[in-house]
């Protein structure tokens, strides 16, 4: 391994640690608890406790208190506070702590698809690509539907993905480095700590089909 | 090429920086909203505060595609050469902040609202937990 | 190297001492609603902003360098308005000062728009065209592949011909330097190819199953999977490993896993991928055990 690679790895691990420190341990552990035996549930409850988890009072702070807006500028006080804006939106565990997919589906918000024309609608494309994962880690389901609500085909094809099942090599490591799915997830779309949103298809569920 | 001690130096300083960043994220009052972007390639050099762009605010009103099309912004923090002249002419932020789709750019401090010294980057993501990697 | 570690520890020590301070600060009671500062400060700050707009901004540079007499004259007008604003500010008439500043800004915007081409440069247009063309081409390829796979009939053929015709026309127009028209045709082709793909594939679920062309390929996959799990140990167990008994147990499994991985790498180096894959799988299983032993249940 080259020096640079080694340094990169170290950095990556530190980043991962941070990510986890902030997001609460093992989303998977939590997710598992939903459909497992009581014994595991007990363990999972302990697992969800995390002293580094930000208490709600420190989330979605108003601009003047968020550490990047200048509180000495008058303009800062004219800006909307995310906490206030998100009040009526469906919640999630991470990122903006808003479930943007649900917010859109259930018409809490109606973002325009065209700059000028509020009537213009996206062409929603309902194609799922399931990517099997070895072992009993749930398989990844990539849904075009939710993505084409927000994005155009050309945002991803070919800029990020070749439009052919299995033609792209995707690994968790590349995602954490901000490539492939990580171009958006972990930056603007829900972060990588939400394992279950992507790893959504259980092996057992598949066998039942 | 880097010499061996230089490499060590580099690695040591990156590790230090990484740990520093972790510390910063965990304990400082910096709690920028997820996906806020700082644009500060030119602003501060010209005496203006850095610009802060909020994804959350805009995505309530527009889908990603409206801004991330060839007309406007590349999906990479810092990849766009945004100038005030272009904005006034109706490009980048100016394609909406023109008095029609949204308020026009007279009100400098609404965009130029960042604390001095911020670097151009996206906030609140794991990417910024450590130094940016592109 | 040692020197660096010393510095590092010193910094860490300092940080751990100083960390609680900002925390406490952040936990303060919600602040009273912000009161806007007296008008004077607002106008003063705007005065500075407008000065920058007129003197140092890219807009100012562009007007100054343009040689466009009208635009330069507009900027002079803007400067005159700003001078008036400064005078009103000095005589403490902030309202009037603010009005002059508004005028100065509007005049300057006009000046900038006069010299600006108002258009996107030709290179940018070409660049954008090429990007969109890449998208159309790759989607067209996908459409062809899918329509063969699905043995779809004439209808798709006709759609495909129509799209290809538009792409060809667009190319010709581009060669004739009619970039705008070329782009329009291309965009129409783009919309059509989207719709055609949606008609064929909408509602489908495709499964990328794990089938490897060669054992070597499977081995590479297993290496990735092993790396991912090794990363997960650091991610999931960082806090838990502070407890010594847990740390000991985790370390035991990790050591086991590492030695298995070395073994697998040696087997692969000899070309025996089949055995190497089995060994790597055992190595990964040890990592899963390590994670579970710390009380975090992950599938795997």
List pLDDT tens digits, range B76-87.
999 999 999 999
Residue with tokens 């990556």: A12
Q: Nearest-CA neighbor of A172 among C223, C235, C219, C228?
A: C228
Residue B114 φ/ψ, nearest 5 degrees: -85, 155
Mutation target to probe the A interface, by most A beta carbons within 10 A, among C202, C299, C300 is C299
Confidence of residue A12 (pLDDT cuts 50, 70, 90): low
Asked if A37 has any chain C CB less than 8 Å from its own CB, the reply is no
Residue extents of the structural domains in chain A: 3-208
Name the burial class of residue C269, with classes exposed (0-12), middle (13-18) and buried (19+) by CB atoms within 10 angstroms of its CB.
Answer: exposed
Asked if C22 has any chain B CB less than 8 Å from its own CB, the reply is yes
Chain C residues touching residue A154 (CB < 8 angstroms): 131-132, 135, 190
Asked if B110 has any chain C CB less than 8 Å from its own CB, the reply is no
Contact at CB, B70 and C12, closer than 8 angstroms: no
Chain A residues touching residue C138 (CB < 8 angstroms): 157-158, 162-163
Q: Out of B11, B14, B35, name the one closest to residue A187 (CB).
A: B35
Where are the extended beta strands (E) located within A51-203?
128-131, 140-143
Mean pLDDT throughout A140-155?
Answer: 97
Give C152 to chain B, closest Cα distance, Å.
31
Q: ∠ CA(C64), CA(C65), CA(C71), 5° rounding?
A: 50
Among all residues of chain C, which has the CA nearest to that of A28?
A: C298
Mean pLDDT throughout A167-177?
Answer: 86
Q: Which CATH class is domain A3-208?
A: alpha beta
On whether the CB atoms of residues C273 and C215 are closer than 8 A, the answer is: yes
Q: Across chain A, what does the average pLDDT equal?
A: 79
ipTM: 0.75
Which residues contact residue C213 at a Cβ distance below 8 angstroms, ignoring those fewer than 6 apart? none
List the pLDDT tens digit at each of the 300 positions of chain C.
Answer: 556 655 555 555 444 434 333 322 333 333 333 334 447 888 999 999 999 999 999 999 999 999 899 999 999 999 999 999 999 999 999 999 999 999 999 999 999 999 876 567 788 889 999 999 999 999 999 999 999 999 887 888 999 999 999 999 999 999 999 999 999 999 999 999 999 999 999 999 999 998 889 999 999 999 989 988 887 787 678 778 889 999 999 999 999 999 999 999 999 999 999 999 999 999 999 999 998 898 877 776
- C215-237 helix and A3-23 helix, angle to the nearest 10 degrees: 50
Chain B residues touching residue C127 (CB < 8 angstroms): 70
CA C189/CA C288 separation, integer angstroms: 50
**Quick check: helix, strand or coil at residue A201?**
strand
- Per-residue pLDDT for A173 more than 90? no
On whether the CB atoms of residues A4 and B120 are closer than 8 A, the answer is: no
**Residue B47 vs residue A24, higher pLDDT:** B47
Asked if B91 has any chain C CB less than 8 Å from its own CB, the reply is yes
Contact at CB, B69 and A152, closer than 8 angstroms: yes
Asked if C144 has any chain A CB less than 8 Å from its own CB, the reply is no
pTM of the complete model? 0.85
Asked if B15 has any chain A CB less than 8 Å from its own CB, the reply is yes
Q: Nearest-CA neighbor of A74 among B30, C46, C53, B40?
A: C46
Contact at CB, A74 and C41, closer than 8 angstroms: yes
- Per-residue pLDDT for A45 more than 90? no
Q: How far is CA A16 from the centre of its chain?
A: 14
Range list of H helices, A62-209: 82-86, 100-105, 144-150, 153-156, 172-176, 195-198, 203-208
Q: How many CB atoms lie within 10 A of CB C271?
A: 10
CA C235/CA C243 separation, integer angstroms: 16
Confidence of residue B1 (pLDDT cuts 50, 70, 90): very low
Contact at CB, A75 and B109, closer than 8 angstroms: yes
Give C69 to chain A, closest Cα distance, Å.
35
Asked if A1 has any chain C CB less than 8 Å from its own CB, the reply is no
């Amino acid at each position: 391994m080259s020096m640079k690679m080694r340094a990169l790895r170290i950095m990556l691990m530190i980043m991962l640690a941070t990510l986890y420190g902030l997001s609460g341990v093992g989303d998977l552990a939590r997710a598992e608890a939903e459909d497992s035996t009581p014994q595991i549930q007990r363990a999972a409850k302990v697992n969800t406790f995390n002293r580094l988890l930000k208490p709600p009072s420190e989330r979605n702070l108003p601009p003047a208190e968020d550490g990047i807006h200048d509180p000495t500028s008058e303009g800062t006080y004219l800006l909307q506070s995310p906490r206030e804006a998100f009040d009526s939106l469906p919640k999630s565990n991470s990122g903006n702590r808003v479930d943007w997919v649900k917010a859109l589906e259930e018409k809490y918000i109606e973002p325009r698809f065209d700059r000028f024309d509020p009537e213009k609608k996206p062409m929603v494309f309902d194609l799922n690509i399931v990517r099997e994962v070895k072992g009993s880690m749930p398989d990844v389901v990539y849904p075009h539907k939710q993505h084409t609500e927000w994005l155009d085909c050309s945002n991803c094809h070919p800029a990020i993905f070749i439009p052919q099942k299995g033609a792209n090599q995707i690994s968790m490591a590349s995602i954490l480095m901000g490539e492939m799915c990580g171009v958006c997830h972990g930056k603007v779309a829900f972060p990588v700590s939400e394992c279950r949103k992507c790893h959504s298809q259980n092996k057992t569920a598949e066998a039942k089909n | 090429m880097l010499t061996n001690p230089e490499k060590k130096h580099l690695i040591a300083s990156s590790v230090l920086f990484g740990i520093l960043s972790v510390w910063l994220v965990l304990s400082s009052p910096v709690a920028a909203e997820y996906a806020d972007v700082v644009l500060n390639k030119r602003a501060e050099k010209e005496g203006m505060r850095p610009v802060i762009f909020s994804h959350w605010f805009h995505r309530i009103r527009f889908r990603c595609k409206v801004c991330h099309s060839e007309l406007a912004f590349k999906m990479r923090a810092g990849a766009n050469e945004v100038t005030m002249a272009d904005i006034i002419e109706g490009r980048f932020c100016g394609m909406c902040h023109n008095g029609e789709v949204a308020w026009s750019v007279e009100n400098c401090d609404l965009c130029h609202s960042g604390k001095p010294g911020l670097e151009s980057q996206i906030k609140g993501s794991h990417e910024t937990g450590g130094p940016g990697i592109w | 190297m040692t020197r660096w570690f010393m510095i590092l520890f010193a910094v860490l020590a300092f940080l751990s001492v100083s960390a609680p301070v900002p925390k406490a600060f952040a936990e303060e009671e919600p602040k009273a609603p912000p009161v806007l500062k007296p008008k004077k400060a607002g106008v003063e700050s705007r005065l500075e902003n407008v000065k920058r707009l007129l003197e140092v901004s890219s807009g100012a540079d562009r007007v100054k360098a343009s040689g466009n007499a009208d635009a330069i004259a507009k900027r002079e007008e803007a400067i005159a308005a700003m001078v008036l604003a400064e005078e009103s500010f000095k005589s403490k008439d902030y309202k009037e000062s603010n009005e002059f500043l508004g005028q100065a800004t509007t005049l300057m915007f006009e000046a900038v728009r006069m010299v600006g081409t108002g258009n996107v440069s030709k290179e940018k247009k070409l660049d954008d065209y090429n990007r969109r063309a890449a998208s159309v081409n790759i989607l067209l390829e996908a459409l062809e592949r899918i329509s063969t796979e699905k043995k779809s009939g004439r209808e798709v053929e006709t759609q495909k011909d129509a799209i290809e015709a538009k792409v060809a026309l667009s190319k010709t127009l581009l060669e004739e330097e009619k970039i705008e028209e070329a782009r329009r045709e291309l965009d129409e082709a783009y919309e059509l190819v989207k719709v055609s793909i949606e008609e064929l594939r909408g509602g489908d679920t495709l499964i990328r199953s794990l089938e490897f062309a060669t054992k070597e390929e499977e081995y590479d996959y297993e290496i990735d999977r092993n790396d991912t799990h090794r990363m997960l140990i650091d991610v999931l167990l960082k806090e838990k490993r502070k407890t010594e008994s847990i740390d000991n147990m985790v370390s035991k499994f990790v050591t086991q896993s590492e030695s298995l991985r070395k073994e697998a790498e040696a087997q692969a180096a000899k070309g025996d991928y089949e055995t190497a894959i089995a060994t790597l799988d055992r190595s990964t299983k040890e990592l899963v055990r390590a994670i579970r032993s710390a009380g975090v249940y992950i599938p795997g």
